[in-house]
Structure formats: structure tokens, C-alpha cells
Chain A
Amino acid sequence: MSDALAASIRIAASGLSAQSMRLQIVSENLANAHATASRPGGEPYARKTISFEAALDDAVGSSELKIGAIGRDHAPFRTELDPGHPAADERGYVRLSNVNPLIELADMREANRSYQANLQVVRQARDLISMTIDLLKAS
């Protein structure tokens, strides 16, 4: 059986990488929030979504965090009347992406907090390991 403390650092690291992937998706969505199609009547940027799954590690009986599917949000696109826009259709409407910056910011905040929590777990596991090693320094 692998050491449980080393395993807890590994599990927290899986959480860190998954949360940073989530941050990456959030930044992609925010950066492309105003991206429209380049040709008339085309589809604008569709919001990306990310999902998480738990992957059980039998050796220690607890789960790592795994990234599930990265999908597209099927919410309808917003439309705006702007006949001068290169992507406007024959009626003068431009389709805008379905990214809602407020939702993205809330998501970013949550990812941020989760990242901090995982970092704290790594810190604590490291402290526990160093406490054990300090035993050798005794007297």
C-alpha cells in the first residue's frame, strides 16, 4: 500500500490541475464573449463547459478528481440588430455568443476557492511528513 500522505498530495494535485483547467475554460469563454462569426449568418462562439468526475483510487480508498467531458453550451445565441456588421444576416441581425460574463466570473471565483482549498491540503500533508522526519532530528 502506498503511503497515504503521499497519496493525499497526489489527490490534491489532481484537484489543482482540474481546477486550473476549469480556470482555463473560464478565460477562454470570457476572451471570446464578444466573438461573432466572420461571415453573414454564421455561428458565433459557443460557451464551453467542463465537468468533473471522481476516480476511485483503491489503494487508499479515496478519490482523485478527473476531468470529464469538455462540451458546448447549447443555450440559444443572443441576437442584436446591427446591419453594418460583417456577420449580419439579410435582416440585419447579428448572432452573439451565449457567454454570460456574470456566470463566468462566479465560476472563476469558485474555481479559485477550490484551488486554494486543494493547495491547503498539499501544505498540510507536507507539514505532517516533515513532522515525522523531524523525529530523526530529536535530541
Chain B
Amino acid sequence: MHIFELASHHRAWLSQRQATLAGNIANANTPGYAARYVQDFASLLTQSRAGQAVTHPAHISTASDMPAASVETAVPDYATHSGNTVDVEHELLNASEIRSGYALNVSVVKTFNRMLQAGLRS
């Protein structure tokens, strides 16, 4: 059932990204606001693996102790006169990334659920 756990963590990470994006869009006109970004999933995953003792290369860590993704302010490419560093175009790109990632996540869960059900039925 590792795949469901992993999918669940991925979903939580995507949701956090969506919340961060909402904050950035809402504050696109706030003076002095620095845009925030969530750390990428790969680094989050290796971070959670680092916490576990892996004694064999075939060991797969259980992702149950996944740490919360850290939210950091990125080094800005540019800032407006008011000190705001939100790049709305970049956020738009981010939004479509989140959407496609979420769709992938949901269909993976759906597929594995169907496989499980097929196994139970037969």
C-alpha cells in the first residue's frame, strides 16, 4: 500500500503549493510582499528517507514520517517599485503544473484502486 501513502503525501504537497500560490496571487498588489515557494517534492522525499536507516539498497522507506514541506521566499528575478516580487505569469505556470500533477496523482490512485478491486473480485 506504499503507493497510496506516497500519493497521499504528494497530494498534501500539491495542496500546500496551491495554498502558497493563492497567497502569492492575493498579495500581487501588496507593497513589500515577497513571493513564497514550496520546496520541491524530490528534495522532500530524500529528506524523509534520510531520517530512516536504510541497510539494504532494495529497502524502500515508508513515507509515513514525511516532514512538512518548507515554504521559503525565493530569490526574486525582479521586484516592482513597491518591493513586491510576485511574478503573476510565473504563478500561472505554477498553477498549470499543480493542476496536471494533481490530475496525474488522482488517476494513479484511481488505477491502483481499480487493480485492488479487481483482485478482490476474482
Contact = CB atoms under 8 A, between A and B. Distances in A.
B18 A124 contact: yes
B71 interface: yes
A36 interface: no
B21 A135 contact: no
B15 A65 contact: no
B27 A8 contact: no
B71 A62 contact: yes
Contacts of B26: 11-12, 14-15, 18, 63-65, 118, 121
A61 interface: yes
Say what secondary structure dominates the interface of chain A: helix
B31 A61 contact: no
Interface residues of B, number: 35
The 5 closest A-B pairs by CB, nearest first: A62-B23, A15-B26, A4-B15, A8-B22, A11-B22
Interface string B1-34: 0000000000110111011111111111111010
Interface residues of A, number: 39
Contacts of A9: 22
Interface of B: 11-12, 14-16, 18-31, 33, 36, 71, 88, 91, 95, 98-99, 102-103, 106, 109-110, 113-114, 117
Contact of A135 (B30, B106, B117): B106
Nearest to B117: A139
A125 interface: yes
Contacts of B11: 132
Interface of A: 3-5, 7-9, 11-12, 14-15, 18-19, 51-54, 57, 60-65, 110, 114, 117-118, 120-121, 124-125, 127-128, 131-132, 134-135, 138-139
Contact of B15 (A5, A18, A63, A139): A5
Contacts of A12: 22, 25-26
A71 B17 CA distance: 35
A63 B21 CA distance: 10
Given A121-B18, A131-B102, 19 more contacts: A8-B19, A8-B22, A9-B22, A15-B22, A18-B26, A19-B29, A52-B29, A53-B30, A64-B26, A114-B28, A114-B29, A118-B22, A124-B99, A128-B15, A128-B18, A131-B106, A132-B106, A135-B109, A138-B114
